[in-house]
Amino acid sequence: MNFISILYGFFLLSVLGIYWSLAQESWRLWILLAASIVFYASLPNQVQYIPLLLALVFINFRLGKAIGENTSPGEHSQDSKISNEDWQYAQADWNRRRLKLLWLGVTLNVLLLLGFKYLQPFFQFIFHQSVSQDGGFKIIAPLGISFFTFECIAYLVDIYRGAPATKNFIKFAAYKLFFAKLISGPITRFHSLATQFSLVRYPTPDLAAEGLWLIARGAVKKGILADRLGIFVDLCFGNLQRAGSADLWLATFAYGLQLYLDFSGYVDIARGSALLFGLILPENFDFPYFSTSIADFWRRWHMTLGDWLRNYLYFPLGGSRNGLDRTCINLMIIMLIAGIWHGAALGFVVWGALHGLALVVHRLTDAISDRFEDLEHFWQNPLGIAIAWLFTQFMVFTSWIWFRLPNIEDSTWVFQHLWGHPADAQFSNKVYVEVLNMNQSQIAILLGALGTCMAIIYAFNRGLKLQFNWPVKLLFVPLCFYAVWLLAPEGSLPYIYFDF
């Protein structure tokens, strides 16, 4: 079931009608859980994984309860029947038990992720061929398995750190399998959504309009802009030997925009759908392509993943508390893990390493700037800000090459041929004349116009603090849907982050 489809519209309206006709929280949770299972079963090659996901939900639920259960005698006082020494021993034993259970849960979730995402690529790397070609097996990973396991790990760690464990399995299952966020996030913490389950109210007209507007806006981002860009990107990166340097540059920038519009469009639809149920999911993007440093980029791009990496990896490793050298090492470790999380191919490792290196350079530059007042002032004036923005975005966009082409031979070939490589004449005629009916200059102008529109929206939103009010948003909703129906290419491309 595609988010941008009439079927999803009927599905969403049907679930909303049943959901809001029920008064009790427990029944609403049951409806959300049942709808989420139906939604997941409708996805290609995924119905067989429903028992596995339910089993994992139950296991993590039980582990959370066990970690949160206080088996020590209670707080010690002068009137206690046990000695201070016995109480401290019992408390230490309880903490050791909780830590063991935490490691059990984290290990289980990590092994699950490794098994589905990296076992087959490992065999392919060892035997230099697809496993299924020898009559063996071919693993199709459950969609959303990365987001699923990250949320489970976050829940167990939060319980270990002192957050209360839920005793309501249906609430936990509804949170874990909520169809709006199940496949590609945003990564959501349990306690935030659980509180909303208990306090859910009918959405006010402005919230309902905001939900519909987010769905319509996300459909335009994905159905028209991202998929149209994707056609050009696939033509260029699918014919590397025939594309010229200019084609590769255009495809690189087009892919950066496609990835952002595709993923942020998905999240807009997910957040809009949740709002209609009276639930608020966290934002995942905050105009990342207007960042003036790589650190700022990661505070704005895939924000829930960045938040997860900081809270559950970077800070436990020591963060920036143990000196500049250790901080730089921690940054490299985190970004390498972020690269590996996206996939097993070496291209993702290179992508993570490039971002880690960029973060290290940024941290070192900050440390040097702090020592020289003139240098610090330079980065704060308009020229310095413009230069910082250009360096940041150049690094971000060129690193997308390894993200789009995780096969290290392909991505390295592209990077080596970004300058001075002529295009095949037949390729140019096929792409620009027969398929797109546009030349290179027109493609470049369109990419520039799209970037300009994003800059104008950014200026109105962040600079002038101006937004449409809810009646205007409601007015644009049918216009957006009509535009998608009219302008979206036939056979929409799959969401890019479904692969991760």
106 and 154 in contact (C-beta within 8 Å)?
no
Q: Which residue among 76, 128, 302, 342 is the active-site one?
A: 342
Q: Is residue 252 classed exposed, middle or buried when 0-12, 13-18 and 19+ CB atoms within 10 A define those classes?
A: buried
1 SS3 class: coil
Does the active-site annotation cover 302? Answer: no
Backbone angles phi, psi at 190, to 5 degrees: -60, -50
Q: Would you state the structure tokens that stand for residue 138, as one six-digit string?
A: 């071919």
Return the ∠ at Cα 340 (arms to 243 and 161), rounded to 5°: 145
Torsion of CA 196, 201, 205, 206, to 10 degrees: -20
Q: Is residue 242 classed exposed, middle or buried when 0-12, 13-18 and 19+ CB atoms within 10 A define those classes?
A: middle
129 SS3 class: coil
Q: H helices within 161-281, ranges in order? A: 169-177, 179-182, 190-199, 205-219, 227-237, 245-276
Give the contacts of 73 (CB within 8 A, at least 6 positions apart). 80, 82, 86, 87, 90
Give the contacts of 270 (CB within 8 A, at least 6 positions apart). 3, 180, 181, 184, 185, 186, 218, 281
Q: Largest alpha-carbon pair distance within the chain?
A: 90
Q: Tokens 């360096």 appear where?
A: 391
What is the set of active-site residues? 342
